[in-house]
Chain A
Amino acid sequence: MALLKLEVITPEGVTLKTDTGSVVAPGVLGYLGVLPGHAPLITPLQAGVVTYRPAGGGEEHLAVSGGFLEAGPEQVVILADTAEKAGEIDVERARQARERAERRLKERPPGLDVARAEAALQRATARLKAAGAL
């Protein structure tokens, strides 16, 4: 079976470099899947979960908080603002962050940056989902 080379790069370094059968990523227009032989594509990403299937089998998850994806027939490059592997996510902290964001959005204290709070909520949700805690 043909494989894709998947690379996840953040400004803090290369998070992941592996061969995979498929990649599912949170594009701004909705989740999109990439299989080997995909037409060249570039799209921004929103905060969400990246799912890929390593060559050895199984399914791995990664939380990203926005960025963009470049796909080609043999390669997928994700330039993420932040990226965390499922095993590295601090579930307790993500849960707290999520509750905080939800509370702020509900109470709407004056001077609240709504877009920012929503983005924080999205990020925390993505991390929880990637960690399988939601």
Chain B
Amino acid sequence: MPNTRDLKRRIRSIQSTQHITRAMKMVAAAKLRKAQAQVTAARPYAAKLEEVIGRLIGAVEPETQPLAASREIKKVGYVLFTGDRGLAGGYNANLIRLTEERLRVEERAVALVAVGRKGRDFFRRRRVEIVRDFTEIGDEPDLTQARELARQLVDLYLAGTLDEVNLIYTRFYSALRQVPQVDRLLPIAAGAGGATGGVAGGPLGDYIYEPAPDAVLQALLPRYCEIKVYRALLEAKASEHGARMTAMDSATENAAEMIDRLTLSFNRARQAAITREILEVVAGAEALQ
């Protein structure tokens, strides 16, 4: 029979864990809401930009645009967006698993750009080449961080360190469902936007481009990279918060279950102790007679 003092101590310890998991769940929920609002706010900009680029990229020779031109691929870069911290259920593990699979089937040379400590640490131990790493992104990424990251990726691409850049991040569908996926960032594929239309509703010929179509495109493509990286960052963070929220929710529930079970054994133990004491008293009284 476990003694009541130990049980009481365990119950108290689980209760304080539960307090922590519950707090983490609530914090994650608040941050999730914020990240979702950011994703929504970025949507009109991204849609418009894609529309204009989609219209332009078909009309301009892709070879004149360093960011859209295809070239021989010697080294493929994967940008892995993981969290800096754990305690988010399978969030980081799922991403790392997907990345490992990609690396296994990839026949060309690969290099990683690690965003987030978890991915960096894992692949550093595996001796995978990591050309850049970004940690301490924080829980609420902003545009400045995305711009800096996008700029460095574009530089790596233009310098020829990487001949293709892919983003591996978790797409956020709901607090319960986040799916890791791979998206190509560079070179920008023709028809990336795909949409047509716009104010004039016509093809390229109806527009005046100042100074010239290829110069306009040259100004737009880096912005396209920025918004894509920004979006990946936000989706990744929303997913991380969603995963953490779900994980902490079930941790809180598990703790509640454990407390119930322990409380039951505690009551039983206490009851047993009382019964034993009564028996002892009765036995003592009887011995006196």
Partner of B48, one of A13, A40, A74, A79: A79
- If A40-B208, A41-B210 touch, does A68 touch B44 (CB 8 Å cutoff)? no
Are B219 and A28 in touch, CB under 8 angstroms? Answer: yes
For A40, the chain B residues whose CB sits under 8 A away are: 198-200, 202, 206-208
For B200, the chain A residues whose CB sits under 8 A away are: 40, 72
For A75, the chain B residues whose CB sits under 8 A away are: 199
Docked complex Cα distance between A42 and B41 (Å): 23
For A32, the chain B residues whose CB sits under 8 A away are: 210
Q: Give per-residue flags for B216-255: 1 if the beta carbon is below 8 A from chain A beta carbons, else 0.
A: 1001100100110010000000000000000000000000
A residues 49-90 near B (Cβ < 8 Å) are 67-68, 70-75, 77, 79, 81-82
**DSSP class of B's interface residues: helix, strand, loop or mixed?**
helix
Docked complex Cα distance between A79 and B198 (Å): 14
- A10 contacts chain B at the CB level, 8 A cutoff: yes
Q: Give per-residue flags for B199-217: 1 if the beta carbon is below 8 A from chain A beta carbons, else 0.
A: 1101000111111000110
- If A27-B210, A29-B211, A41-B210 touch, does A10 touch B45 (CB 8 Å cutoff)? yes
- B272 contacts chain A at the CB level, 8 A cutoff: no
Q: Which range contains the number of B residues in contact with the other chain?
A: 20 to 34
Distance from B200 Cβ to chain A, minimum over Cβ atoms (Å): 4
For A72, the chain B residues whose CB sits under 8 A away are: 198-200
Docked complex Cα distance between A26 and B219 (Å): 15
For B226, the chain A residues whose CB sits under 8 A away are: 11
Partner of B216, one of A9, A11, A12, A68: A68
Partner of A41, one of B207, B215, B230: B207
Docked complex Cα distance between A32 and B52 (Å): 20
Which chain A residue has the least Cβ–Cβ distance from B215?
Answer: A44
Are B44 and A9 in touch, CB under 8 angstroms? Answer: yes
Q: Give per-residue flags for A77-117: 1 if the beta carbon is below 8 A from chain B beta carbons, else 0.
A: 10101100000000000000000000000000000000000
Docked complex Cα distance between A82 and B202 (Å): 29
Are A43 and B210 in touch, CB under 8 angstroms? Answer: yes
- B38 contacts chain A at the CB level, 8 A cutoff: yes
Are B220 and A11 in touch, CB under 8 angstroms? Answer: no
- B49 contacts chain A at the CB level, 8 A cutoff: yes
- B143 contacts chain A at the CB level, 8 A cutoff: yes
Which chain B residue has the least Cβ–Cβ distance from A5?
Answer: B199
Partner of B219, one of A12, A44, A71, A82: A44
Are A39 and B208 in touch, CB under 8 angstroms? Answer: yes
Are A70 and B198 in touch, CB under 8 angstroms? Answer: yes
Are B45 and A44 in touch, CB under 8 angstroms? Answer: no
B residues 18-61 near A (Cβ < 8 Å) are 38, 41-42, 44-46, 48-49, 52, 56
Docked complex Cα distance between A77 and B49 (Å): 11
For A9, the chain B residues whose CB sits under 8 A away are: 44-45, 48
- A14 contacts chain B at the CB level, 8 A cutoff: yes
Distance from A93 Cβ to chain B, minimum over Cβ atoms (Å): 15
Distance from A108 Cβ to chain B, minimum over Cβ atoms (Å): 23
15 pairs, CB–CB < 8 Å, chain A vs chain B: A9-B45, A11-B41, A11-B42, A11-B226, A12-B38, A40-B198, A40-B199, A42-B209, A68-B219, A70-B199, A72-B200, A73-B199, A79-B49, A79-B223, A81-B223
4 more CB-based (< 8 A) A-B contacts, given A72-B199, A79-B223, A82-B143? A11-B41, A42-B56, A42-B210, A79-B45
